[in-house]
Amino acid sequence: MTSSNAFEQAFGFARQDVTLGNWREKPFNRWAFQNVGEMVRSTRIPALEGKVESAPVDLAGLLTEIVDINGRNESVAGFLERSSTDALAVMKKGRFVGDWFAPEMRPEARHIIFSISKSLTAVLAGSLEGEGKLDPNAPVTDYVPEATGSVYAKATVRHVLDMTVSLDFEEAYLDPESAFARYRRATMWNPGGGSETLREFLVSLQPLDEPHGQTFRYRSPNSDLLGIIVERASGQRYAELMADKLWQPLGAVRDAFVSVDAEGSARAAGGVSVAVRDLARVGEMMRQGGVAEGGRIVPQAWVEDTIHGGDAVAWQRGTMTNLFAHGRYRNKWYQSANAAQAYCGIGIHGQWLYIDPKAEVVISKMSSQALPVDDPLDLDNVAFFEAICARV
């Protein structure tokens, strides 16, 4: 059997069928989400050399357990299939207690985490804040002077971190004629990119007729701008900063990658690819108050602010109360306000990093859902995580 035939047998299509125009669509996304570097220019974020990953822990009997998913009785295995899961890792009290991989995904593979990249980028900001190199209350223009004349001219870094920038922009994922499509061309994620850099796109954006700080508006460009801010504050490129401040002290076993635009600016809002267990290690670091294998990564006060702070009124004025009715958003992490006070990072197409501090459980889940945003399935995912946390 040729390697081409093996590929087609595994995925149901030929490699040459996957293009820059369709890599986020079914069925091509199941392969592309594990191989973003073949679609978009990417930069390596090195892990420490010499680390070896332990063998996966079989979920075993848990797969056949029946759980209540918002009133629907379903097996764990059934839900993993229904939600197009590619990989799952579960930690309890700092130890891996279960792993699951779809037939098409290897345990060592890296998978794009989309907007959980935002949460990782915010960790870099928290680290720099702890070192006195970044002031969250400073104007954006202190770090990015060329943002003068844009929506960010009167915004602070705090507005950027908490998604309360009054930005005239819509996350229109499926509209090829929208400003969002122009944004993706600037990131080199769509055909026709390269004539405008990500930085040039960001500093062209304009405000709505409302002051900053009043309404939670989920707008990805804010997080790409944060990637530029942390570079300017640190004097390091994004991948180097991520390796130094997070990936290596975290004890990550596999290298990570981040996609970059034509001038090398990182897609800090959504372009990071990691192994599923290393993503769980980020959640465990947060659960431990900012400490990991290599020592303290962010101040404990920053973690406490991230999981308990935020503006509940701004959240209520936003459009995501269907997910967490009484939630908040702080430092690019979501607070569920559920009974366990769980918090999480979320990415489109079904990427999740879920931390339940009461159960002492961390769950990382990577998926290739057909739709970028699927509100009913998001609610089902949360119910699934709650059920898993109650059983491990």
Residue with tokens 């990071």: 272
Is 234 among the catalytic positions?
Answer: no
Residue of 42, 115, 117, 234 with catalytic role: 115
- Compute, in degrees rounded to 10, the torsion defined by CA atoms 375, 376, 377, 381: 100
Give the domains, in start order, of the chain with CATH numbers.
1-32 (no CATH), 91-391 (3.40.710.10)
User: What one-letter code names the amino acid at 280?
Assistant: A
Residue with tokens 């680290």: 127
CB 286 within 8 A of CB 307: yes
- Each residue's pLDDT, cut to its tens digit, for the chain (392 residues) gives 457 788 998 899 999 999 999 999 999 999 999 999 999 999 999 999 999 999 999 998 899 999 999 999 999 999 999 999 999 999 999 999 999 999 999 999 999 999 999 999 999 999 999 999 999 999 999 999 999 999 999 999 999 999 999 999 988 888 888 899 999 999 999 999 989 999 999 999 999 999 999 999 999 999 999 999 999 999 999 999 999 999 999 999 999 999 999 999 999 999 999 999 999 999 999 999 999 999 999 999 999 999 999 999 999 999 999 999 999 999 999 999 999 999 999 999 999 999 999 999 999 999 999 999 999 999 999 999 999 999 99
Within 10 A of 187 (CB to CB), how many other CB atoms are there?
25
Residue 4 has a pLDDT of: 78
Residue 1 has a pLDDT of: 41
Quickly list DSSP for 127-192. Answer: HHHHTTS--TTSBGGGT-GGGTTSGGGG-BHHHHHHT---B-----TT-TTSHHHHHHHHTT-STT
